[in-house]
Structure 1
Amino acid sequence: MNGWLFAAGAVAAATTLIHVFAGGREVVRPLLGSRMSVEPRRTLHVVWHFVTADLLLSAVALILLALRAEPDAPLVLFIAAHYFAYTVAFLIGTLTVDWSRPLLRLPQWMLLLPVGILAVIGTF
């Protein structure tokens, strides 16, 4: 078993649970209750579910890859690239707003970055 990939999958699974429960309460419910017009509101709701599926599927894939004798390095790196891209998106979205303590306002990047790092380490 590849411990690095298993750790990446475990962190990704925890991230998925946090996304579903905290994100549902803190993001989706207020979004659905907002006065935003229906098309953008429903589109953002669907995108939230896309992210849920991506997080869940990548967590399962990382755990399954960790159990293989020889993990598929290109697939692992592809999954890691997803997490790095999500990290960059959150950092840009956070750091381009004039907020106090911006890195703590949208802390999702703190869960996403370790998955990418652990996955990359697991390929060596």
Structure 2
Amino acid sequence: MMQQRNVHIPVAPVAITLLILLSITGCTDSTCRTLSGRWSTREGQSFYFQENGHGLWLVRFGSKIDTFPMAYRYDCGKQPIELDLSGFETGPLAGKTLFGILEWNSDTSFRFDAEAGTSPTVRPSTFESDQTQKFFIEKE
């Protein structure tokens, strides 16, 4: 006659080990994506983000394109995500920062809303539909 053995596996240590492995192997927050590259509204505005915190804002006026060098600060640890654009040397934004919020729609698009000012207190806390712009990744 065969003997039946009961094998007891302690559940707590196994669960803890799985949680540790998931945190080490890169189960990351999906809201923190890279901004590198060119993003366009498809309506005449584009951002070109470089990995060093600098970039370009391209604005089309008819057949001409104006290019504005800028610096940016991207903080996906905040809710909503913060994206600030600064370093403008000419135009109505000279000496000001666009204090913005960003929400990822997918890996290839996000929406952005911002207010210009000299203090982050002007940053929107919610997306206003009339000012929010949707950006899409541009193919290289």
**TM-score (structure 1 length as normaliser):** 0.27
When you count helix as a share of all residues, which structure comes out higher?
Answer: 1
Which structure's relative contact order is higher, taking Cα pairs within 8 Å and 6+ residues apart?
1
When you count strand as a share of all residues, which structure comes out higher?
Answer: 2
Larger of the two Rg values belongs to structure:
2
